[in-house]
Amino acid sequence: MSVYTTLSPAEIAAFMAGYGLTLQASQPILSGIENSNWFVSDRAGRQYVLTLFEHRGMTEVQQLAQLMHQLARQGIPVAEPLSTALGITIHSLQGKPAQLAPRLKGSHPQTPENAICRQMGASLAALHLAFDRIEQEGQLTVIPDGGLQWDGLAQRMHTCVSQDDRELLMQVFDHWRPNADLPLGIVHSDLFRDNVLFDQGKLSGILDFSEWGRDIRLLDCAVAINDFCSEWPAVGLNPQKFSAFCEGYQNLLPWTAEENTALPAALAVAAARFWLSRLAIQLAIQVGSQPNNQHVTSDQNPETILRKDPEEMRAMVVSRLAGH
């Protein structure tokens, strides 16, 4: 949720006026890497999140809004985009799709304990089951490919990394290749700690579905496990947290025997995907160019972009390949 596009207070005020709201204050949100976001409030003190979608077309964003409405109907704690009196949910700002949604209560779990990890496992299973119901009901007209399709990025980055890094990527590919036919489903693809909120120990919000789509569901689990169950700033898995997450998930949605066997490889793949995406952003910022990376735009302000360390995720790749 970095800020790539600059909006003036007047532009934000005009946007909010379309919802019958008067702007009181706005603040850019500097965490994340996908879209531009602001916290905004109205004169009544109500708080919202204004999102400007940097790399999505209007049709894609409207489909995402439809997904949020359907998930809310299934009881998943998401921020449903507001609609104007004319029933318009997605608008345009500076030629890009934009929405306004309520700001959910809670904060990001910085050092999740076992109970939080267990709850996150159960919450992700509930999300996957909700996705299944929505798809079975035919409520989604288009389901994109999931954000975890990372092999294309790996190929584009091939000439940008060292020989050691290329060999590490080949190890990941070789480790994963036998598991390419695991069950598919709709996935979140980016369920990190900074994309969930907890309020008084309970999950109060799941955020940022911009990478949603169909992919191998176990990889969605692996992304969350890597972030919630690691001993930061180290990257090794905490056995108790890992067990709690897996127990929470499988109490609602048991893995198949094939998925259980493939989980170690999935953890390495998930780490590699985010290593490469962070590395692509770092390289683009360093050289001032755009090496086929959708997250980097020509009008970005380096002071408003969160730079996440790719070496952190590289170390995790090494750790997961070693079974840690």
The size of the chain, in residues, is: 324
The answer to whether residues 245 and 238 touch, using CB atoms and an 8 Å cutoff, is: no
Token pair belonging to 126: 């509930």
Distance CA 45, CA 23 (A): 10
pLDDT at 288: 47
pLDDT band of 229, cuts 50, 70, 90: very high
pLDDT at 4: 80
Q: Answer yes or no: is pLDDT of 232 > 70.
A: yes
pLDDT, one tens digit per residue, over 41-95 is 999 999 999 999 998 899 999 999 999 999 999 999 999 999 988 889 999 999 9
Residue ranges of domains in the chain, CATH in brackets: 9-102 (3.30.200.20), 114-321 (3.90.1200.10)
The answer to whether residues 244 and 118 touch, using CB atoms and an 8 Å cutoff, is: yes
The answer to whether residues 188 and 291 touch, using CB atoms and an 8 Å cutoff, is: no
pLDDT band of 177, cuts 50, 70, 90: confident
DSSP 8-state secondary structure symbol assigned to residue 102: E
Radius of gyration of the chain (CA): 20
Q: Answer yes or no: is pLDDT of 162 > 90.
A: no
pLDDT at 38: 95
**Mind giving me the DSSP string for 74-94?**
TT----PPP--TT----EEET
